[in-house]
Amino acid sequence: MRTECRFKENRKDDIWLVDFYAPWCGHCKKLEPVWNEVGIEMRNMGSPVKVGKMDATSFSSIASEFGVRGYPTIKLLKGDLAYNYRGPRTKDDIIEFANRVAGPLIRPLPSQHMFEHVRKRHRVLFVYVGGESPLKEKYIEVASELIVYTYFFSASEDVLPEYVTLPELPAVVVFKDGAYFVYDEYEDGDLSSWINRERFQGYLTVDGFTLYELGDTGKLVAIAVIDDKNSSVEHTRLKSIIQEVARDYRDRFHSDLTIPTIVVLNTSNQQYFLPDRHIENTEDMVQFINNILDGTAEAQGGDGVLQRIKRIVYDAKSTVVSVFKSSPLLGCFLFGLPLGVISIMCYGICTADTDGGVDEHEAVKKENSDRELTDDGSEEEQEEEKNGKYAALSDGELKQKDLLEKKKD
């Protein structure tokens, strides 16, 4: 309790990068050596960010306060805000996340030299151009939400390259894929949604975490299953096809498609599409995408009730297997103890019902016997009453006879 209170009181004085873990979690144990490296490198860099870890099962109130629902959960605590890390669990990615979120929300680019330097380091670059305006306020608001994913910069118009032409100021520009694109409120809609869509390259290597982030865009995600290390003709041909579609057909598909490839995922309903024939060239790839958009391509998977049940069963099975593999004794305790308690409760309920039924039967039987005894007593009393009445009538008749005899005398 003292540790919890002390952490709650002092955490706002510093910036904390915290790993919330569970002792029995296999993924947490796998992260542990990486986390130690993160702490050492952040300290050697002189970073203001303090690195720590907390057992969420022992300090459940703190874990609950920060919305920890799974393990491990990495959060950066900055003032009153808590930023959730959802990227790959590697040392470089975690450190990059910590430095990005711990730093300024909007980073200024004061010169062309600084702009070129930053542009070389970032494959996707968002820049606000102009002075104070409602658009800048909105830009800052979006940055506070999406800083966990990407950097946000600001610059004056003379800092931008000469080939950049802006229709008006202020403006928000994204530089990626060797080109630039300007935000248009009327065509692109909400600024937050636009930035969330445009923060990905047109063609990139996808891992499990990136694919999960792509799901937030609600767009179709196409995945090419190829080996970058394989230089065979088939791998090279397919890679060149999807790169060409991503580059040359952006204007045609950019509102509905992020990465063209062989397997296409619809992240809004978790459906996926497979081509019904071999993709030979760019025209085949374009036709495949058009078939998906016009509804003629056959969809598989989805988020129906049956599919959800299958996923729940799979997730539950994976969790149980993971626990038993990492710690068999702990798994037996975690799952055996609740099952034992439930079994005892069920046995008690069933036994209580049976005994209650017997007791109730005996009570009814006893009550019926009492009623019979009561009824018998009533009959005897009724008999006595009848005899009393007969005796009373006999005495009356004798009196009447005495009176008649006196009258005769």
Cα–Cα distance, 316 to 395 (Å, whole number): 96
The sign of the CA dihedral 389, 390, 392, 397 is positive
CA dihedral defined by 45, 50, 55, 57, rounded to 10 degrees?
-130
- CA 261 to chain CA centroid, Å, is 27
Kindly list the catalytic residues.
25, 28
| 87 φ/ψ angles, rounded to the nearest 5 degrees | -100, -170
Residue type, 176: K
332-to-1, 145, 314 alpha-carbon distances in Å: 29, 42, 20
Cα–Cα distance, 257 to 55 (Å, whole number): 41
Cα–Cα distance, 260 to 202 (Å, whole number): 8
Q: Report DSSP state, residue 257.
A: B
Cα–Cα distance, 199 to 248 (Å, whole number): 19
The sign of the CA dihedral 23, 24, 27, 32 is positive
HSE of 403, CA atoms in CB hemisphere, 13 A: 6
Q: Which neighbouring-strand residues pair with 181?
A: 174
